[in-house]
Structure 1
Amino acid sequence: MFKRMRFSVRVPRLPRVLSCLCLTMLTMALLLTWTLLRHSRSFTQTCHHSEAFQDGLHALGDRVHRLLVSLGLTHFLCYGSLWGQLRLSRTLPWERDIELCVLNEEMALKDEVFLERQFRKNNMQLAYDSTDGKYTVTDDTLPDARVELIVFEEDPMVAMLRRVGWKRRVLPSDCESLPSLSCFPPRLIKTPLPSREFGGYIIPVPREGIEIQKYHYPDNWWKEVLPKNC
């Protein structure tokens, strides 16, 4: 006599399936929200700062310029600030800083404490970043604004100026393969430098107009690059 075989198919309980589905959807929603927030933090750069902020930034730049003149230190607009001068005769509206390039041979002749004291006497603070090779000038009365003094020195091996800083000291003198050196020829800063209007003030600029930007922005010097949220 044969026994009847019973086969059963086990069906998952519906509540458990729904709970797993809800958990998956919640996880995906959280990941999406986190991604959006992360990118929104990355691109919250204000396209147009207030006129009051820009006026204060230009005034700070002029104060730094005048102090550098009194100290006999060569300086000139560079990087984004030079773009602003070339296009608008003022800083670009989304910038929070003014970039001035200076020469290491001259800066090295001034004692660090002496420099800090001179800026402090003029109600400004000076801090040096030895890794990146630049000074930052701030004024407590103008939050978020700053002037960057980016230091260059001449490399006799290639007869070009290049940026300083510990992170570049170990790099070879290969200007073409290493864009982080920001090399450019000395003829572009041969003194006396020309001066141009910048936010209502007169500031030194490199020679030959846009030429130095071809070295600092080799991949896009011919076009205007805006922040991603502008």
Structure 2
Amino acid sequence: MRMLEFLRRFAPRVPWSIVFSLFIAFIISFYMMFTIMNDRFMHHQNWYDFPAPCSRPKDMLDAMAKLAFTASDVLTQLNVSHALCYGTLWGALRNGEILPWDNNVDVCVMREQIQRPGWHNLHKAFQSRNLPIVYDYRHGEYSIVDGSAEVVINVFYSTVWEEVLHDGWEHRFLWFFQDQPVSFPRRLLALPLPKIKFHGKDMPIPHDDLEMLKYLYRDNWWLVKTPPGCPPSQ
């Protein structure tokens, strides 16, 4: 009791507004520190470093291709320019279809393109196909899931230097913690985009074929990386 009385009399009087602000700052700092440590030391790996089946069932790959066509059709109807990218682009350029071990289809869009129709119209267009669409603010990507199939729409924004960077608050504000932030020249997604046969249907791809992969996979863009334990792709 005497200690409490001592603190009451001699402890500096700090306004509640400052205490509350310091508390919020502590929570935000703790969350960001946890996020950085979690990504850098626990999940800081390329997708092909994680164990995965060497090949997926044909019906699953067909479902992924079908969902990719549906997503592309919706984006085209909304006048949103888009292109296959990441591992999906590798598969399209290499053999005209999804890589056998891939678990989703990756599409890249510019931020000004995907924002043009507005969230309400974007959501309504996919909902009309009985497809939910969810935006991940952290990673700057939309996810469309139908059963075991998933399409990821990666969103990018352009700088005044015509450099394209990945959107999302983690990429924008924590880029200095990334070993190789994703960036590439704006011209690779300039309109109009070329097309390639993908599972028998024309799909848009970036300009210059493999050029984008040189920026997305700087250390091994010329290799088709298989999951651990799988034989090298021929």
* Short-chain TM bin: 0.7 to 0.9
Q: Which residue in 1 is equivalent to 2:185? A: 185
Q: Whole-Å Cα distance in 1 between the matches of residues 157 and 116 of structure 2?
A: 13
Q: Which residue in 1 is equivalent to 2:21? A: none
Q: Are the equivalent residues in 1 in contact too, given 2:164–2:183 (CA < 8 A)? A: yes
1:153 pairs with 2:157:
yes
Q: Which residue in 1 is equivalent to 2:54? A: 47
1:144 pairs with 2:133:
no
1:104 pairs with 2:111:
yes
| Range that drifts further, 103-112 or 53-62 | 103-112
Listed as ranges, the gaps of 5+ residues in structure 1 are 1-41
Q: Whole-Å Cα distance in 1 between the matches of residues 132 and 54 of structure 2?
A: 27
Distance apart, 1:110 and its partner CA: 2.7
Q: Which residue in 2 is equivalent to 1:203? A: 203
Q: Which residue in 1 is equivalent to 2:76? A: 69
Q: Whole-Å Cα distance in 1 between the matches of residues 179 and 194 of structure 2?
A: 26
Identity %: 32
Q: Deviations over 1:9-60 (max 9, x none)?
A: xxxxxxxxxxxxxxxxxxxxxxxxxxxxxxxxx9551111111111111111
RMSD of aligned Cα (Å): 1.9
Q: Given residue 206 of structure 1, which amino acid in structure 2 is its aligned partner? A: P
| Range that drifts further, 112-121 or 65-74 | 112-121
Q: Are the equivalent residues in 1 in contact too, given 2:51–2:227 (CA < 8 A)? A: no
1:170 to 167, 170, 173: 173
**Matched residue SS, 1:184:** strand
Q: Are the equivalent residues in 2 in contact too, given 1:43–1:229 (CA < 8 A)? A: no
Could you say which structure has the larger radius of gyration? 1
Listed as ranges, the gaps of 5+ residues in structure 2 are 1-48
Q: How do 1:14-53 and structure 2 match up within 5 A?
A: 44-53=51-60
Q: Deviations over 1:147-171 (max 9, x none)?
A: 0000001011x32011000112225
Q: Given residue 216 of structure 1, which amino acid in structure 2 is its aligned partner? A: L
**Matched residue SS, 2:55:** coil
Superposition TM-score, scaled by structure 2 size = 0.73
> Structure 1's 149 and 91: CA in aligned 2 closer, same or farther, altered over 3 A?
same
Aligned residues: 182
**Larger helix fraction of residues:** 2
